[in-house]
Amino acid sequence: MNNPYLLEHLRSIPDFPQPGINFRDVTTLFKDPDCLRIMEEEMYELYKDKGITKVVGIESRGFIMGAILAQRLGAGLVMCRKPGKLPAETISQTFTKEYGTDTIEIHKDSIEENDVVLIHDDLLATGGTIKAAWDLVRKFNPKKCYMNFIIEIRDEGLQGREFIGNDIEVTALITV
């Protein structure tokens, strides 16, 4: 994919949030209406024939394109959030990050066995959060599951895709 217009509008911020990190800032893609249109169209083309019934958006940037894509596909949106943010009964998944652990949650009644699920987040780097989201979604035993990102970072030796494994189809609009 690597649409030149998207690449041109993607901002990189060196040494953020700490020295040595080259942060990829998707907010520059969100603020440009042409970038939004391109991302919507490219994601729609990838998934229009997959029978998606639920899109799981991961807090918080995953909510943006997740909601746009869910609406375009005629699917529901499921929010995957940090603990204490969802009002009804949830199931959770704890995972290890670079500097400790974190937990994400989904409402217990959000996914059913006959659902075809697309998990969406803005960025794939180390893979910890998305792997936890996938482990969480698998607890619902959906019919099928896909995974999508706006950006996959591979140029800094990051191997998020390898961490996820080969048991799920993974796509990214931009690979750097």
| CATH code assigned at 153 | 3.40.50.2020
Q: Are 126 and 160 in contact (CB under 8 A)?
A: yes
Residue 34 confidence (pLDDT): 98
Q: Determine the Cα–Cα distance for residues 45 and 165; give it in Å rounded to an integer.
A: 24
Is residue 160 scored above 90 in pLDDT?
no
Is residue 168 scored above 90 in pLDDT?
yes
Phi, psi (deg, nearest 5) at residue 141: 55, 55
Q: Name the domain count of the chain.
A: 1
Residue 158 confidence (pLDDT): 78
pLDDT tens digits for range 29-78 = 999 999 999 999 999 999 999 999 999 999 999 999 999 999 999 999 99
Helix (H) or strand (E) holding 24, with range, is: strand 22-25
pLDDT tens digits for range 9-29 = 999 999 998 898 889 999 999
61 is catalytic: yes
Q: What's the CA angle centered on 69, arms 64 and 75, to 5 degrees?
A: 120
Between 48 and 159, the more confident residue is: 48
Give me the catalytic one of 40, 61, 72, 138: 61
Mean pLDDT of 2-6: 96
Q: Determine the Cα–Cα distance for residues 152 and 174; give it in Å rounded to an integer.
A: 6
pLDDT tens digits for range 70-125 = 999 999 999 999 999 999 999 999 998 767 799 999 999 999 999 999 999 999 98
Range of the domain at 159: 4-175
Is residue 1 scored above 90 in pLDDT?
no
Q: Determine the Cα–Cα distance for residues 33 and 13; give it in Å rounded to an integer.
A: 22
The pair of structure tokens assigned to 114 is 């006959």
41 is catalytic: no
